[in-house]
A and B are shown apart, each in its own frame.
Chain A
Amino acid sequence: MGKAHDALSPTVSSSRAVTLPRGLVVLREQLPPRSAGVELCSSPQDQYELYAVEMEKQDDGAMDVKIKKKKTTKAAKKKEKLENMKKEMDVDDHQLSVEDLELKYQTSVSKGLNSTWAGEILLRDGPNELKPPKGTPEYVKFARQLAGGLQCLMWVAAAICLIAFGIQCGQGDLTSADNLYLAIALIAVVVVTGCFGYYQEFKSTNIIASFKNLVPQQATVIRDGDKFQINANQLVVGDLVEIKGGDRVPADIRIITSQGCKVDNSSLTGESEPQTRAPECTHESPLETRNIAFFSTMCLEGTATGIIVNTGDRTIIGRIASLASGVENEKTPIAIEIEHFVDIIAGLAIFFGGTFFVVAMVIGYPFLKAMVFFMAIVVAYVPEGLLATVTVCLSLTAKRLARKNCVVKNLEAVETLGSTSVICSDKTGTLTQNRMTVSHLWFDNQIHTADTTEDQSGQSFDQSSETWRALCKIVSLCNRAFFKSGQDNVPVPKRIVIGDASETALLKFSEITLGNVMEYRERYKKACEIPFNSTNKFQLSIHELEDPRDPRYLLVMKGAPERILERCATIMIKGQELPLDEQWKEAFQTAYMDLGGLGERVLGFCHLYLDPVQFPRGFSFDSEEMNFPTSGLCFAGLISMIDPPRATVPDAVMKCRTAGIRVIMVTGDHPITAKAIAASVGIISEGSETVEDIASRMRIPVEQVNKWEARACVVNGGQLKDMESEDLVEILKMHPEMVFARTSPQQKLIIVESCQKLGAIVAVTGDGVNDSPALKKADIGVAMGIAGSDAAKNAADMILLDDNFASIVTGVEQGRLIFDNLKKSIAYTLTKNIPELTPYLIYITVSVPLPLGCITILFIELCTDIFPSVSLAYEKAESDIMHLKPRNPRRDRLVNEALAVYSYFQIGAIQSFAGFTDYFTAMAQEGWFPLLCVGLRAQWENDHLQDVQDSYGQEWTFGQRLYQEYTCYTVFFISIEMCQISDVLIRKTRRLSVFQQGFFRNKILVIAIVFQLCLGCFLCYCPGMPNIFNFMPIRFQWWLVPLPFGILIFVYDEIRKLGVRRHPGSWWDKELYY
């Protein structure tokens, strides 16, 4: 499917009689476009074989093997389906004669199907539409939200809590339902964040869905000899349908009759150029032959009738779509990182739990009690708030991206672009505008560059020359394309044109440079016209002159440059007609080669003022007889056209490269065009050479070139097919700048896989159906929102609503930023785990009254600290992240040992000290000296003891002790909060000093800190809190106790950062930079 290009019918091959200089892409004829942009290959025969083999492989080779490999487990059913697929691929409908076809489908090429029979077939085959890829049911989507790495951790923790609660109940200990609350809180967190995530994805799905064309497509069908307009999904195999310019082909159609019908296969193959459809079978492969028009391709011009041979999912498009659905989605890098992080957490939790289990047993706790301790410690290690933080951070970024027109389907994909190290980009429609545009002109022996930007904002060339005026006249007059009426207010590049792609380009070009072309044509009345045909390979028209006193006729002609040149005797230079001698022919050749080398389609233009004596006004020109001169004309110039790159692309590619991302072009289009576009957008940078370039520069055979010298490499599908996957990997390693041309959907898939094998995280951009398998396979598939086909959008993870490749750069930037900021958020969130855990450890081992309660911990995790940790997502980048290399997924982890160790055992330890200092202060000030506290637990917690003596001999009832315990909780809570304020400030940066980053630049973070303080105050001082949530109003000075620790944390981290900045690569840097 990918490279249905040079359909090598004998006619076409023979039309390539002229041997062309190497590297030259020429259009020797305007039609058929399939021969435009001919490849540089030694002989047409080679090419023929090459593609024949290729197609055969496509039909049943690579694709089936691939899927079989993937689906070995889903045995029988899938296999059967594949068998069917294979069989269907063997269709020979294009080779059948019309009569056989009628017989096969019991239809008639004149009257169409019988409606009743059509109804039956419809029942048998189902409607003619692509089954939407088995949409994941909503409940599965929701369930997926509940089953991530962190979520699983929380589920396990909740289960442990319930077990611990069960054990406690079993022991008859009903005093504390903390474990139950904890379990409920854990489950609630998972479910609430699950709902949140689900809602986010639901919203973006809706945005994408809104892009789908909901208007049912209509088709003209002939049944029982009458024409009907019916919904395209009602069509069945055997239906006789009519298509005309502007229609979408409603199914796979075998063409029966055609009048200049051309279709746009770009979404299928990546070719920008229109393809002719005609009744003759030109190739034995159904994909190559010209007499089959494919479902969902666009008919650009002309009309055709045909018989439907495949409908719905059995069409080529349907099969590619199903190929995409056979590809497994890759796990997002962030999911992998979170799993890695969960491993670390779980490991530490079990280590700590185990250690203290042993300690508890040694101290002499009963086994079950020790078990409960073990579980409590394991659970205390679970960062309850992290899940919410991560989800909110990701969705914030998703929102930010959505504002920049990147819609993310899966929240986790937000980060993926940031990790991306290779972008495999489709060319047509992604890098280019998918629209032929005049790019260069050659006249007065000079190549002029036309403006190819989308909005015509570029520089124009010098238009003062007389030659230009003549050339312009030819361009305007010798053109049959016209604007669809009623578009006067539409900017020229956006207007809809009826006509072939090159004529459209020329029409728009002259409309822009000259003004109203339609009116201009009115003034030069057309007297005669010869449209393009494949024998003449030129187009000619004869016009009256504008000036009524000038009786001459003007003959204008355009066509394949060498054909035009043959017919010229003179050449116009600066308005002067000079004889066309060898020197000028040489100049012509050079210009022709230059333009061809740019991958452009070149046309030649010439004119002749007819002798007024011989051809007076009113002369009857006969286009059949050609009773006028068609040689000895005056050559005016060459104009070349290309599907130009989008204006923003070169800059975006440049930015990607500075960001260390390799941009690879993978296209279905011709190598030369691909290479030219690659060079113009910077995928192949200036000065980079391919092996062939080096060979031709050094004038040595290709084999003798040291391949490692060639930075760039253009590989076409044919070469790719012969390569083992190791070779491909080798090539990818060898040449940093790669262009893959004429690739099939499967090959795109293989390329993506090879890049992934190299350890790269691969983004694929594309718009066509042919890209969809690769989009799915990629770590992140990016589809175009406007130009993109539904199949591509379905397979993609991210959609660029404005089709702007530059949005990818934004995505990369945001992705990298969120990765860095998530790191900070996680570091912040993890830190407080230790001051939350140590009270319990001390409680178990030293038997002090419990310093920090479970509900209080939940408040820290899920209430006060959420906002600050989320606010870190708003932190600006510390350095120019777009100048760094993409992270190495194996080395640069989201959570590494340094982060965990530093957060837990350094900052976390300081926070614990703060908490305990404050705790002991509060206890001592109320009458319980620290030494007394040790070992106090049994008495303290005995609710029958109403007269426990403190250090002063005062007697406390159980209730009084309980409130004192709550006071301690609150004091510890405030200590953690105060330290966390300091913590959030230090987490603003990992390397820079906070002063360099700006203390208050992140407004959200400042608000978050204020919010955190207010919430802390509220929890402490709101009446009723003591009995509901165990918060007690505490004395002001207990807020101050942790302050020195907060300052210590700040200074400590500044010292760390200073060391990291001063001594990069040192032990300090390695151990303390996270």
Chain B
Amino acid sequence: MLFTISEFEPKYQDRVAPPGLTLIPQVLKTEISFSISDPQSYGQYVEGLNKFLKNYDSDQQASDMIFDTCADKPDDYIMRGAFNNAQGQKKVCRFKREWLENCSGIADSSYGYRDGKPCVVVKLNRVLGFKPKPPLNESLPAEVMGKYNQYVMPVHCSAKKEEDADKVGPVEYYGMAGYAGFPLQYYPYYGKLLQPKYLQPLLAVQFTNLTYDTEVRVECKLYGENIGYSDKDRFQGRFEVKFDIKSS
């Protein structure tokens, strides 16, 4: 049975889908805690973001053999044929780091941490062949509906608890064409062998006016028809992060 397994397409994906929603930097105990005055205290977050975003530098995406210039605005799925190497490797859509604006690390190398306005980058976990479906449902939160695009998987971050809502303050989203979500043309993913340089679409989220010196719990959630959430797996389709920023 081991030999019936395809290199290109997993037999089953029931464990890995619906996909998880991950944030960068990687945090311990889902807590981002630092002191504005102490660069050391957020060094690890900056480091993590730098490392992760390196792949999104434009010089990394130079090769036209690998990269495909897809539309600059959200578009439909791009199907690249069967899941095999009959046509060699598949091309990959470029994703420009610049789209992340304030959180791209280009202008502000500290991703806003130095100003107490931390950025996090949100990504949807790669699942081979997975085509996320944007939500149809009208019952989405108003903030999400406001920026609705049929080719975007919307993400929304808000206070975990209602009463914390004022502590979170405004949240800025930086993504392709200013949409707070993942455009569909990056999907589906064709796997490590066919798309070794695959870049998944990113969304940067910046919290510009977090209340300092207190714990603020924020939940970011991806909305979509085939996106699921689980009580047991706190990273499926959403994640939670706790900010504890010391002003001094």
Of the candidates B123, B126, B239, the one whose C-beta lies within 8 Å of that of A954 is B126
Max count, chain B CB within 10 A of own CB: residue among A925, A929, A967: A925
Give A920 to B20 CA distance when docked, in angstroms: 24
Known: A921-B2, A926-B10. A959 touches B19 (CB 8 A): no
Q: Is A944 among interface residues, defined by CB-CB distance under 8 A? A: yes
Q: Is B77 among interface residues, defined by CB-CB distance under 8 A? A: no
- Contact B16–A960 (Cβ < 8 Å): yes
Give A956 to B19 CA distance when docked, in angstroms: 8
- Contact A958–B13 (Cβ < 8 Å): no
Stretch binding the partner chain, chosen from A543-551, A693-701, A945-953: A945-953
Chain B residues in 8 Å Cβ range of A929: 5
| B33 CB, nearest partner CB in chain A, Å | 14
Q: Is B127 among interface residues, defined by CB-CB distance under 8 A? A: yes
Of the candidates B13, B19, B192, B193, the one whose C-beta lies within 8 Å of that of A949 is B192
Chain A residues in 8 Å Cβ range of B196: 953
- Contact B10–A957 (Cβ < 8 Å): no
Give A925 to B14 CA distance when docked, in angstroms: 10
Stretch binding the partner chain, chosen from B21-29, B60-68, B102-110, B163-171: B21-29
Stretch binding the partner chain, chosen from B133-141, B142-150, B226-234: B226-234
Interface size bracket, B side: 35 or more
| A950 CB, nearest partner CB in chain B, Å | 7
Within 8 A of B (CB), among A894-942: 917, 920-921, 924-927, 929-930
Give A946 to B2 CA distance when docked, in angstroms: 27
Chain B residues in 8 Å Cβ range of A963: 15, 232-233
Chain B residues in 8 Å Cβ range of A958: 233, 235
Q: Is A8 among interface residues, defined by CB-CB distance under 8 A? A: no
Q: Is B116 among interface residues, defined by CB-CB distance under 8 A? A: no
- Contact B127–A957 (Cβ < 8 Å): no
| A642 CB, nearest partner CB in chain B, Å | 78
Q: Is A750 among interface residues, defined by CB-CB distance under 8 A? A: no
Give A461 to B127 CA distance when docked, in angstroms: 99
Q: Is B206 among interface residues, defined by CB-CB distance under 8 A? A: no
- Chain B, residue nearest A927 (CB): B10
Give A930 to B5 CA distance when docked, in angstroms: 12
Give A822 to B126 CA distance when docked, in angstroms: 54
- Contact A920–B16 (Cβ < 8 Å): no
| B212 CB, nearest partner CB in chain A, Å | 25
Interface size bracket, A side: 20 to 34
Known: A947-B22, A953-B192, A953-B198. A926 touches B11 (CB 8 A): yes
Chain B residues in 8 Å Cβ range of A917: 2
Chain A residues in 8 Å Cβ range of B198: 953
Known: A945-B26, A949-B192. A955 touches B13 (CB 8 A): no
Q: Is B191 among interface residues, defined by CB-CB distance under 8 A? A: yes
Give A954 to B14 CA distance when docked, in angstroms: 12
Chain A residues in 8 Å Cβ range of B192: 949, 951-953
Give A929 to B235 CA distance when docked, in angstroms: 24
Q: Is A1037 among interface residues, defined by CB-CB distance under 8 A? A: yes
- Contact B233–A952 (Cβ < 8 Å): no
- Contact B22–A1035 (Cβ < 8 Å): no
| A206 CB, nearest partner CB in chain B, Å | 51
| A926 CB, nearest partner CB in chain B, Å | 5
Q: Mark A1011-1050, 1 if CB is under 8 A from B, else 0.
A: 0000000000000000100000001010001000000000
Give A258 to B16 CA distance when docked, in angstroms: 101
Of the candidates A920, A925, A959, A964, the one whose C-beta lies within 8 Å of that of B230 is A959
- Contact A1041–B20 (Cβ < 8 Å): no
Of the candidates A921, A926, A946, A954, the one whose C-beta lies within 8 Å of that of B1 is A921
Of the candidates A921, A924, A954, A962, the one whose C-beta lies within 8 Å of that of B16 is A954
Known: A951-B192, A954-B13, A959-B233. A924 touches B128 (CB 8 A): no
Contacts between the two chains (Cβ within 8 Å), count: 115
- Contact B15–A964 (Cβ < 8 Å): yes
Chain A residues in 8 Å Cβ range of B5: 924-925, 929
- Contact A953–B20 (Cβ < 8 Å): no
- Contact B20–A954 (Cβ < 8 Å): no
Give A944 to B23 CA distance when docked, in angstroms: 11
Chain B residues in 8 Å Cβ range of A959: 20, 230, 232-236
Q: Is B174 among interface residues, defined by CB-CB distance under 8 A? A: no
Chain B residues in 8 Å Cβ range of A967: 15
- Chain B, residue nearest A928 (CB): B10
- Contact B20–A925 (Cβ < 8 Å): no
Q: Mark A95-137, 1 if CB is under 8 A from B, else 0.
A: 0000000000000000000000000000000000000000000
Chain A residues in 8 Å Cβ range of B232: 959, 963, 1027
Give A930 to B15 CA distance when docked, in angstroms: 17
- Chain B, residue nearest A924 (CB): B5
| B216 CB, nearest partner CB in chain A, Å | 20
Chain A residues in 8 Å Cβ range of B230: 959
- Contact A954–B26 (Cβ < 8 Å): no
| A656 CB, nearest partner CB in chain B, Å | 57
Give A927 to B191 CA distance when docked, in angstroms: 11
- Contact B235–A952 (Cβ < 8 Å): no
Chain A residues in 8 Å Cβ range of B193: 952-953
Q: Is B209 among interface residues, defined by CB-CB distance under 8 A? A: no
Give A917 to B2 CA distance when docked, in angstroms: 8
Q: Is B125 among interface residues, defined by CB-CB distance under 8 A? A: yes
Known: A946-B20, A1027-B232, A1041-B1. A956 touches B13 (CB 8 A): no
Q: Mark B1-44, 1 if CB is under 8 A from A, else 0.
A: 11001001111111110011010001111000000000000000
Of the candidates B1, B16, B239, the one whose C-beta lies within 8 Å of that of A956 is B16
- Chain A, residue nearest B198 (CB): A953
- Chain B, residue nearest A923 (CB): B2
Chain A residues in 8 Å Cβ range of B234: 959
| B93 CB, nearest partner CB in chain A, Å | 16
Give A920 to B14 CA distance when docked, in angstroms: 17
Q: Is B189 among interface residues, defined by CB-CB distance under 8 A? A: yes
| B130 CB, nearest partner CB in chain A, Å | 8
- Contact B12–A1035 (Cβ < 8 Å): yes
- Contact B127–A954 (Cβ < 8 Å): yes
Max count, chain A CB within 10 A of own CB: residue among B16, B125, B235: B16
- Chain B, residue nearest A930 (CB): B2
- Contact B20–A960 (Cβ < 8 Å): yes
Chain B residues in 8 Å Cβ range of A926: 10-16
| B222 CB, nearest partner CB in chain A, Å | 13
- Contact A954–B10 (Cβ < 8 Å): yes
Chain A residues in 8 Å Cβ range of B128: 927, 952-954
Give A955 to B24 CA distance when docked, in angstroms: 14
- Contact B19–A955 (Cβ < 8 Å): yes
Give A954 to B127 CA distance when docked, in angstroms: 5
Contact surface of A with B, Cβ cutoff 8 Å: 917, 920-921, 924-927, 929-930, 944-947, 949-960, 962-964, 967, 1027, 1035, 1037, 1041
Question: In the complex, given contacts A927-B16, A954-B13, what are 16 additional A-B residue pairs having Cβ atoms less than 8 angstroms apart?
Answer: A924-B11, A925-B12, A926-B11, A926-B13, A927-B13, A927-B15, A930-B2, A944-B26, A950-B10, A950-B16, A954-B10, A954-B191, A957-B233, A959-B20, A959-B236, A1041-B1
| Interchain residue pairs A-B with the least CB separation, the first 7 | A959-B233, A953-B192, A957-B20, A955-B125, A957-B235, A925-B11, A927-B10
Contact surface of B with A, Cβ cutoff 8 Å: 1-2, 5, 8-16, 19-20, 22, 26-29, 123, 125-128, 189, 191-193, 195-196, 198, 230, 232-236, 239
Q: Can you report 10 residue pairs joining A to B where beta carbons are below 8 Å apart? A: A917-B2, A925-B12, A929-B5, A944-B27, A946-B235, A946-B239, A950-B16, A956-B16, A957-B236, A959-B20
